[in-house]
Amino acid sequence: MIALIRYAVVLMIALFAPTIAGANHKLVITTNIYPPYVRDDVEESFLPALFEEIGKEMGVTFVLNIQPWKRCEQSVADLEAWGTFPYTRTPERDARFLFSDPIYFAESRFFAYHDPNESKTNQPPETYDQLSDLKPWIIGGIQGYYYEPLFAQTGLNTDYALSERQNFERLVLGRIDLFPAATTVGWHLINQMFPAEVARNFRTLDPPLVANAPLHLMTSKDYPNTETWLVRFNEALQTIHQNGTFARLVEKYGLVMRY
């Protein structure tokens, strides 16, 4: 029954969607607030601006929906949206979805917090050799993120929340000991959320959890004409790099990243 319903959804989209060559085609894209890349002021953010430029090159309009991360992925799986961003490739996701060329590259590290005025002495290390070294500590995380199966396989003591903000607040409150986050995103949020006397008590561990990881647009394998759309998306992304638009947007939004 589920397969029949899924087939019916695909068929209806195929019947009523404009043709690939049609003008003013709209594609729904989902993401979540992810500063500094997607800010609360969504229209004044790097990734939405980048997708607007890519859409111009493709001759389409991207309709951006802000949703919780797990809902973003589910919207793509349910064919309610063509794609979602930014996502890391994993074997589990590769089995279900297609991925664009890298949109940008990011580094992720474990964040820790220690108030020097508190007497707590058992602190996470400054360095670690392998993930299993972190078993003594409570690792915060976000449900649906790429590291969830990795942490489960390693046997880490995890406690998941719904957002980066919640996890940084839990670090300060001592409810978790470590939290992995994209380095740029983490420091941006810390400096935005906390006064300077609190922000300076955060630190990151070496080595990175992920170094220079490519992040992608993720799209369903079942969406009508998805492979054609994805080819056009990648071509437009390449054009954006070649004509200087990507570098201009990076500078405009005050980012430093590898691309």
Domain residues of the chain, as ranges? 2-104+216-252, 106-211
Q: What's the average model confidence in pLDDT over 40-46? A: 90
Calculate mean pLDDT across residues 215-231.
96
Q: How confident is the model at residue 116 (pLDDT cuts 50, 70, 90)?
A: confident
Tokens linked to 236? 């437009």
Q: What is the mean pLDDT of the chain?
A: 89
Residue 259 has pLDDT above 90, yes or no: no
89-110 tens-digit pLDDT? 989 899 999 999 999 998 999 9
Q: 2-104+216-252, superfamily in CATH?
A: Periplasmic binding protein-like II (3.40.190.10)
Alpha-helical (H) ranges within the chain are 2-16, 46-58, 69-77, 91-94, 147-154, 164-173, 183-193, 196-199, 226-242, 245-252
Looking at domain 106-211, does it have CATH number 3.40.50.620? Answer: no
The reply to whether domains 2-104+216-252 and 106-211 share a CATH topology is: yes
- Confidence label for 20 from pLDDT (cuts 50, 70 and 90): very low
Tell me the three state secondary structure of residue 179.
Answer: strand
Of residues 165 and 6, more confidently modeled? 165
Please report the pLDDT score of residue 117 as a whole number: 81
pLDDT tier, 146 (very low <50, low <70, confident <90, very high otherwise): confident
Over residues 118-144, the mean pLDDT reads: 90
Helix or strand or coil: residue 74?
A: helix
Q: Report the pLDDT value the prediction gives residue 255, as an integer from 0 to 100.
A: 82
Average pLDDT value for residue range 205-230: 94
- Tell me the mean pLDDT in the region 58-66: 96
State yes or no: pLDDT of 14 exceeds 70.
no
